[in-house]
Amino acid sequence: MAAGLLVDDYAVLLVTRLMCGLAHAGYWAVAAVTAISLVSPSRTARASGVVVSGLSLAMVAGGPAGALLSHFTGWRGGFWAVVALTAAGAVLTFAAVPATRADAEPSVRRELRTMRRPRLWVVYTVTLLSTAAYMISYNYLAAFLTDVTGIPAVAVPAILTLFGIGAFLGLSIGGRIADRRPFHALLAGAIGIGAGSVLLAVLAEHAVAVVLLVLLLGIAGFVLNPAIYGRVFAIASQAPTLAGATAVSAFQLGISLVPVLAGVALHEGAGVGSIPWIGAGLALVTIPAVLLDRAISRRRP
């Protein structure tokens, strides 16, 4: 963050972006492990959902607030806001989060051995595909709304906020059903992302329908997240730190695939209107991965 504030060198900004990514992944891994250590095993998915709900709240407030702040202060104002919020978060974490202790000493060998379980990597595949499926539409939503749907640019921040509201609702719903019926949540989310993406592409010129679909896409995309974390910690209970960190990495890898896939489509002249079709295809591929995880789980509870 400091480099972004003090210099105008692209290479330095790129390095700080990498550093922020490392810190982000490490934070979410430790936060998830801490959350599940504070609840009973039957509430693992819900606890994970509470942690991830912070992401949806950030999407609700962060995008519009960042755009507004940058309008008045320039792009550096957003960086200063991140610095202030990060410092406040560190202080609140130190003051409010209780100390936790693992039941056993961490064992790198045990965690690496646990990570060799194939069904764990099936869940990571679901994570990667589903994340890319909804994020590809979200990342290009502003251009889609203005260039394809014809919505004025001034209304875009409010519509992006709707996606964040949908994400919060999805996490609330997913957290309630994921502990008992994780595969219901995973399948509902994947099918919802696919259907929402198809409708977004087909009804692209109808503003009212598009606005409603943005909300529904947020719900479908984030209803999976508590179930994903619940599955990871159910399979890899002996490797919570490494398994949690890898789950976060799968999320990030899914997000990183978005510009690659979208860039290929745009380079070939497909246009922004084609982006939701890519999301629908990714969601369609997610479904058999969920079914495979369910089949393996039934054979090996």
Q: What is the CB-side half-sphere exposure of residue 190 using CA atoms within 13 A?
A: 25
pLDDT in tens, 161-171: 888 888 888 88
Average of per-residue pLDDT across 274-297: 94
Q: For all residues of the chain together, what is the average pLDDT?
A: 83
10 Å Cβ neighbour count for 115? 17
pLDDT band at 266 (very low <50, low <70, confident <90, very high): very high
CA dist 199 → 123, 142, 280, 286 (Å): 27, 17, 9, 18
Average of per-residue pLDDT across 176-202: 92
| Domains annotated on the chain, with CATH | 2-96+114-299 (1.20.1250.20)
Most confident of 8-17, 176-185, 244-253, 282-291: 282-291
Average of per-residue pLDDT across 202-209: 94
| Structure confidence at residue 297 (pLDDT) | 84
* Distance from C-alpha of 115 to C-alpha of 93, rounded to nearest angstrom: 29
Contact in structure between 11 and 18 (CB atoms under 8 Å): no
Average of per-residue pLDDT across 85-91: 88
Provide the angle, in degrees to the nearest 10, between the axes of the packed helices 240-267 and 10-37: 140
| Structure confidence at residue 93 (pLDDT) | 84
Most confident of 42-56, 157-171, 180-194: 180-194
Average of per-residue pLDDT across 210-221: 94
Residue 129 has pLDDT above 70, yes or no: yes
